[in-house]
Structure 1
């Protein structure tokens, strides 16, 4: 009948029930990954177990830390929203910026796929499927890179391109430095070890050393004596150093030079440590 009210849907689950149901599934999935991973590790020989676990740590630890950073960034946005802080204006974000819920959704997906790939890697290697095991971290890194660089309008296209543009501005500080530029660059300096592990992981994938213990050899191109390690470690500090020079050029404030000296000193310490051992 025209003008009649639409009856409420009977039996529709509440948002709280759905949230609890998803949390239970997430917990069960985590327990399954832990169980399968533990059983797979126990199948390996004791003399190679520690070496292999270090290799697994090398591939997946950087992505776990990135996932944790995304979770905490969502917490920051939630605190800003609860405190009525206009973080959109502070960080110079677009109107289509991601909310804390969307940030947490991205972190959830990353938290799901990284342990799943790691569990598959452990299971396949422990059951003798070395080639299939070696493909797991390669596929994971390739998928994440494709999603990040994809030009299609999915997976928050505008936010991904905003992030990539900011990264380009950090690497090439040819323009006036904005707050998002040096804020993200400061985050990168705190993640220099993560970038170093990523470089070693990608190096091993390119040189087909995955699912081996070639990293243990001192003369390995991706080993601990690789010259690429200190270069990647100092790269974020060098970016901040050039940002400080650019800020001094624009503002003539001496504090920018002092901050630049701090960043340059950190880069010198890294180089001295690696080239004098």
Structure 2
């Protein structure tokens, strides 16, 4: 039995949630390949800069990975939408689950296939980011910086996996905002905070090793993101009058502080766009 047009439109959002983060990851991989191509054309020894192993991937191999991901993800999404629209709910629900499981197995596979050394290098760097118990290297904070730009992707991945684990794929259970995987889940702000906390701890570790005060100022920049995320989530857990009268002004102030501080730091420190001395 075919589903109604209205219900099918509602489930387009669910499909977007499952597949959008993976498509964004594919786009990121494409752009990383572009970066490597530009480095190669400019004779930049990026392997030395990023402390890459001798077996590091070239831009062509990066693009090959991006191509496969760009093909596989829309194929799974099309299968999900087609099967659900034709009443094959169980088969439809299996599509994102299989996709996520296959990608995870490829990433964690210990076998010498699918660029084992590069996967191991990536996973090792991620582990160093999560537990910054050692001196911070350039690849550590470079990848962690990328993760801060992907916080929404991580949040969507968490929501997707939550629905898969709780068997809410291709059901209407997730429409309830206060459900375990709903839009009001406390896990969402926690996952959004993680990349900023990782960079915060890295900055503190760098200060411990170097005693440079700029590390503390950089840590302060990442700490200003925490109140913004916390107060944004708090909106769904307090009375509307409390939100409007007390918490929303705090949220606005914290958002302005975070935006201005981040903008200043990017211009003055990261990009070093200061007026030239006359």
TM-score normalised by L of structure 1: 0.80
Work out whether residues 175 and 182 of structure 2, in 8 Å CA contact, stay in contact via their aligned partners in 1.
Answer: yes
The 2-side partners of 1:236 and 1:181 are apart by 12
Q: CA deviation at 1:208?
A: 0.3
Pick closer, same or farther for the CA change 1:85–1:134 going to 2, 3 Å: same
Q: CA deviation at 1:45?
A: 1.9
Work out whether residues 230 and 274 of structure 1, in 8 Å CA contact, stay in contact via their aligned partners in 2.
Answer: no
Pick closer, same or farther for the CA change 1:190–1:95 going to 2, 3 Å: same
Q: CA deviation at 1:205?
A: 0.1
Classify the secondary structure of the residue corresponding to 1:43.
coil
Q: Which runs of 5+ in 1 are unaligned?
A: 1-41
Q: Aligned pair 1:239/2:166, yes or no?
A: no
Pick closer, same or farther for the CA change 1:238–1:116 going to 2, 3 Å: same
Spell out, residue by residue over 1:98-141, the C-alpha distance to the aligned partner (whole angstroms, 9 max, x if none). Answer: 00000000001101110110011111111110000000000000
Q: Aligned pair 1:132/2:91, yes or no?
A: yes
The 1-side partners of 2:49 and 2:263 are apart by 38
Spell out, residue by residue over 1:121-163, the C-alpha distance to the aligned partner (whole angstroms, 9 max, x if none). Answer: 1111111100000000000000000000000000000000000
Q: Which runs of 5+ in 2 are unaligned?
A: 226-232, 235-259, 266-278
Pick closer, same or farther for the CA change 1:204–1:273 going to 2, 3 Å: farther
Q: CA deviation at 1:271?
A: 18
Pick closer, same or farther for the CA change 1:273–1:81 going to 2, 3 Å: closer
Q: Aligned pair 1:227/2:217, yes or no?
A: no
> How many residue pairs are counted as aligned between the two chains?
233
2:127 aligned partner: 168
Work out whether residues 55 and 213 of structure 1, in 8 Å CA contact, stay in contact via their aligned partners in 2.
Answer: no
TM-score normalised by L of structure 2: 0.80
Work out whether residues 178 and 184 of structure 2, in 8 Å CA contact, stay in contact via their aligned partners in 1.
Answer: yes
Work out whether residues 221 and 262 of structure 2, in 8 Å CA contact, stay in contact via their aligned partners in 1.
Answer: no
Q: CA deviation at 1:219?
A: 2.4
Q: What stretches of structure 1 move > 3 A for 4+ residues in a row?
A: 270-275
Work out whether residues 203 and 219 of structure 2, in 8 Å CA contact, stay in contact via their aligned partners in 1.
Answer: yes
Pick closer, same or farther for the CA change 1:125–1:218 going to 2, 3 Å: same
Q: CA deviation at 1:274?
A: 26
